[in-house]
Chain A
Amino acid sequence: GAVVSQHPSWVICKSGTSVKIECRSLDFQATTMFWYRQFPKQSLMLMATSNEGSKATYEQGVEKDKFLINHASLTLSTLTVTSAHPEDSSFYICSARGSLAGSVEQYFGPGTRLTVT
């Protein structure tokens, strides 16, 4: 199946700093990428949807100026958490969808665990 990678797999940063998370589709072109976050013992919550070359669409309650999403190419999307605070500590997961021969449609990355101290 198609592979989606994320980098880094975990990161610790100080409050007030910014962190960038990369999401790559390794063997297919991702026309659409999704960003989710997951707090402990909770389900995945969609943060935003991005299409290559377009501005991301954010879910209600997600601050677009705090969570900057860039989808500049068909294989790369980035999520930047700006001025991170401890409450931003979470598991961030990206997902990609593209024109694949298969029918699964949406593939997920392994996730990035962010801890803000």
Chain B
Amino acid sequence: DIQMTQSPSTLSASVGDRVTITCRASQRIGSWLAWYQQKPGKAPKLLIFDASSLESGVPSRFSGSGSGAEFTLTISSLQPDDFATYYCQQYNSFSWAFGQGTKVEI
């Protein structure tokens, strides 16, 4: 099965900072990668699909890049509402594995 590894596990940042989260797959997955945001006690929310496509209604400060086995999620200017945990997920094969998550905290 494909394993997904995110870094860092925790990230401390301030409002206005540019934030980058990395996700690495244990084998090449093309562009079949999504990013989700989850806040405490809430369901995950899709931000990015197909590695770089912005889901409808998601602010343009979120962007995704990468292909193959290395991917990044970038928040261009961190807003108070962005403090949350972020997960990547691959959907290239018959195991829809998630990364372990990256908590973005103040």
B is bound to A: no
